[in-house]
Structure 1
Amino acid sequence: MAKHLDLEEQEQVAELKHFWKQYGDIITWVLIVVFGAVAAWNGYHYWQGRQASQAAVMYDEVERAVQSGDTARLDRSLADMKDRFGGTVYAGQAGLLAAKVYYDKGNADASRAALSWVAEKASDEGYQSIAKLRLAGMLMETKAYDEALKLVSGSFPKDFVALAADRRGDILAAQGKKNEAKAEYEKAYKGLDERAEYRRLVEVKLNALGVDPAAVAIPAADSGVKK
């Protein structure tokens, strides 16, 4: 009986050796890939966390520069933020903050440059959208209407679609294109929540163009004649 078991075990060992000889390399490489991917994933998240914490410190430096009113210090800290932590959300926040400070101090070129960077490079779509809307407003001030309109004519996240339509309406109204402006303001009015305070502003713009916002809000299906 013992010999019979020994023979069975020897056969199993032989089969195992044969199996491992045939598939061992494949299994080994699969395990290496799997565990390597896990290690890379964990390492990436660690790197992300470390980047975020360092970016937060750098953002504090940007804020301190703003509070001190030292634009040279702001220039340096913003440049460091973009170079070292450009892929973090803090970089987008810093760009928007710096753009406002530059604008308030009368440095329109620096403000536009900061907004352009956020619009093109920020990792957060919301910050990109805010930058585009603000930059379009600045371009409109200099009568660069075509450039401003192009900036707000692309795709926007859902929460910014109505605001982009409103800004297009502003640009078209400034060009004297009243009918096109009305169409954009109507889009904005319909797209904004009824409780949104900004909707009141769009309502004023529509009134100024001779449009009754109450009529705009009526769905097209309700305006037809019932049979």
Structure 2
Amino acid sequence: MAHYDLEEQEQIDSLKTWWNMYGNLITGVVVAGAVAVVGWQGWNWHQRGQAAQASAIYGVLEQAVAARDAQKVKAAAGELAEKFGGTAYAGMGALVAARQSFEAGDLKTATAQLTWAVENGKDEVRDLARLRLAAVQLDEKAYDQALKHLEAAHAPAFDTRFLELKGDILAAQGKGADAKAAYKAALDKMTDKAGPTRELLQQKLDSLGEAA
């Protein structure tokens, strides 16, 4: 039988002492790390499952819009908001449903759906919701509320649209000089030097004449 020499035995004794001091700590760290990995994988799995279910409901919503089934649109959008509010599909569903409600003349429902998207949507969805909500409020002559939404921070890509709508609201209030300033700022933000959108914006500006 092989025998450990004195140096090997000392190394073993040192290792035993070290393990007695730190073994429980190391085991705890390893277990915690394993739990974290499992938890992360479980969370990712949950998120993928949520997205898949939300995608299916969003598909139902799109079909309902195509069929002009207002009740089914509202139901699908409501389910997305209630059960899958953390997914991108919920915000997009609110925008789609709001457009259908607006076109149907149901401004109250459109306002509620857009408000939800403003409060719960992310990035471009939130910015689009603010624009559309402000446009609905313009139609309802709720000018101050509409302007408040347009003052919120938004992505630079939406600068022109926010400023143009601000000009529309100010013009509706009879504030010609302020409306002209908003239209001019919108034109300055545009990257296109020609095109129907720029022409329409220029026409709005020109229609104000020498407003002061």
For normalisation by structure 2, the TM-score amounts to 0.89
| Alignment-mate amino acid for residue 118 of structure 2 | A
Does 2:163 correspond to 1:172? no
Aligned twin of 1:132: 130
Query: Are the structure 2 counterparts of residues 201 and 25 from structure 1 closer, same or farther at C-alpha, using a change threshold of 3 Å?
Result: farther
Q: CA deviation at 1:106?
A: 1.2
Aligned twin of 2:25: 26
SS of alignment partner, residue 33 of structure 1: helix
| Alignment-mate amino acid for residue 130 of structure 1 | L
RMSD: 1.9
Mapping for residues 72-221 of structure 1, pairs under 5 Å? 72-122=71-121, 124-194=122-192, 197=195, 198-210=197-209
| Alignment-mate amino acid for residue 10 of structure 1 | Q
Q: CA deviation at 1:195?
A: 5.1
Q: What is the rounded CA distance, in whole Å, between the counterparts of 2:188 and 2:35 in structure 1?
A: 51
| Alignment-mate amino acid for residue 199 of structure 1 | R
What are structure 2's unaligned runs of at least 5 residues?
A: none
Q: What is the rounded CA distance, in whole Å, between the counterparts of 1:19 and 1:200 in structure 2?
A: 79
Aligned twin of 1:11: 10
Identical aligned residues as a percent: 38
For normalisation by structure 1, the TM-score amounts to 0.84
| Alignment-mate amino acid for residue 127 of structure 1 | V
Select between 16-25 and 91-100 the one with higher mean Cα deviation: 16-25
Q: What is the rounded CA distance, in whole Å, between the counterparts of 1:36 and 1:158 in structure 2?
A: 42
SS of alignment partner, residue 5 of structure 2: helix
Aligned twin of 2:51: 52
Aligned twin of 1:223: none
What are structure 1's unaligned runs of at least 5 residues?
A: 212-227
Q: What is the rounded CA distance, in whole Å, between the counterparts of 1:159 and 1:170 in structure 2?
A: 19
